[in-house]
Amino acid sequence: MTNPVDLLTPDTRERAIAFQTAAQAAGLAFNMGRTRVTCAAQGMSTAPVMVNGIPLKRAPGCRSWHVWGRAFDVTLQNATPERYAELGALGKSMGLAWGGDFATNFDPIHFQYAPGLSTQILCPDPAKCEETVAAYEHGLPPPPPSPPSSDGAAASFLAFAAGAIGGFLLTRRMV
């Protein structure tokens, strides 16, 4: 059976292992849970789920760093909201983003490492998740975004940003 941490990108895996070691030393031991998932699996989990009595809303498809191998969920031993906050502070001190700080999609079990990257730019169209992730992994340009939505200005900006910045970001593809 594959260790979940082995599914992460090399730089994220390195951070996750160091974080788990530091957390254990700080008395905040946790088990590594969900790491990298397929677009289909992420899409199936967009309905809110309950974790420790907290409803968590999942990001769709390639808008989740789990799909890119840059996020992991944890199950904290002797979990309380205060202990998750301590764990979040430790993760942030080590360069991770913590889901407990998310203004939307509050997710205190979630940590990610994606410095300088944006899922909105990498994946302007979540409906093209599999295609976009495959392109990223193989160093190809991302597929073009879908036609503009009713919010034309935002869609036009995303299309421009994906084209202008996408090539640069693709140089940071997974190995």
pLDDT at 90: 98
Total-model pTM:
0.72
* Residue 7 CA: distances (Å) to CA of 18, 19, 85, 173: 16, 16, 26, 15
pLDDT at 45: 57
CA angle at 96 for the pair 92 and 102, rounded to the nearest 5° = 80
pLDDT at 98: 96
Dihedrals phi, psi of 49, to nearest 5 degrees: -120, 155
pLDDT at 46: 54
Helices 10-25 and 81-93: crossing angle, nearest 10°? 130
Query: Mean pLDDT per segment of 10 residues, for the chain of length 175 residues?
Result: 86 96 97 87 65 66 84 92 96 96 86 89 81 75 49 43 38 38
pLDDT at 105: 77
Q: Which domains does the chain have, with CATH numbers?
A: 4-112 (3.30.1380.10), 119-170 (no CATH)
pLDDT at 112: 95
pLDDT at 139: 67
**DSSP helix/strand/coil, 11:** helix
